[in-house]
Amino acid sequence: MGVAAEAHNVKILGSGTEYIVLGHGFGTDQSVWKHFVPYLVDDYRVVLYDNMGAGTTNPEYFDFERYSTLEGYASDLLAILEELQVESCIFVGHSVSGMVGAIASIARPDLFTKLVMVGASPRYLNDVDYYGGFEQEELNQLFDAMATNYKSWCSGFAPLVVGGDLESVAVQEFSRTLFNMRPDIGLMVSRTIFQSDMRHILNLVSVPCHIIQAEKDMAVPVVISEFLHQNIGAESIVEVIPTEGHLPQLSSPDIVIPVLLEHVHLEIESRRYTCCAGYMWRKQIS
């Protein structure tokens, strides 16, 4: 393992010839994919890694300036692929990693055969003619709560995001990975993500995009999936799944895993018809 791979706790599993790379969202680490990985290892070389700042990474490596923008995370992803000598991969990015994958694919489209975005958003803040889900005052209150008592904030935030009660396994798992983040790093990462605006780069994405969105998600309104679909420059397809919460791969793996597997294997060009009843539609590129 090289420097980047070691710093990001890279693990390579499976025996296939094609690479699939899994990127996680805020407050989690690569363990968020634990229900999905067993379905991939027979057919793919699966690359798992932790975003810098996750509780599993060395906090001394966290550069507050580098990670003040999502480009820092995209550079990390490209460095990992370069060290592993990955020439082409399917990238599955949850939450913020959906946009990280988009940024990386713009810089190096040759490295990505497709992007599968799960609960991704280009902007969380409401704007003129745009519904991101949050007002600035709501985010300020979130940041203040994190700064005041991080542990207490985690206990309240986890069930809201996951969409379950405190006793659910998924909530407990998300609480664990949230607690593991160093509070000042957690605050910095949340500011970077929630204040980001990636709308301007969407038309530059040139690799096919599969957009997976939970029907009820407190962090990402379902209308965001349609916004991505309409504004991404490449061909795209959307599937809205009948689940609740921002981490459906943890809270509803029985529903989400078959959908993810379908989109990992699906070539957008092969689907000729829109499936409205199944919450799926595709975009033709003229």
Query: Side by side, which strands form the sheet with 18-23?
Result: 11-13, 44-48, 18-23, 89-94, 112-118, 209-216, 236-244, 280-282
* 232 CB burial (10 A radius; 0-12, 13-18, 19+): buried
Cβ atoms of 180 and 51 within 8 Å: the answer is no
Q: Which residue has the tokens 């943890």?
A: 250
Per DSSP, which regions of the chain are E strands? 11-13, 18-23, 44-48, 89-94, 112-118, 209-216, 236-244, 280-282
The answer for residues whose C-beta is within 8 angstroms of residue 262's C-beta and 6 or more apart is none
Q: Diameter of the chain by CA atoms?
A: 52
**Would you name the residues annotated as active-site residues?**
95, 217, 246
Distance CA(212)–CA(259), nearest Å, equals 8
- Select from 55, 36, 61, 56 the least CA-distant residue to 46: 36
Query: Both tokens of residue 151?
Result: 């542990």
In Å, what is the CA distance from 222 to each residue of 111, 180, 242? 29, 29, 11
Asked if residue 278 lies in contact with residue 240, where contact means CB atoms within 8 angstroms, the answer is no
End-to-end CA distance of the chain: 43
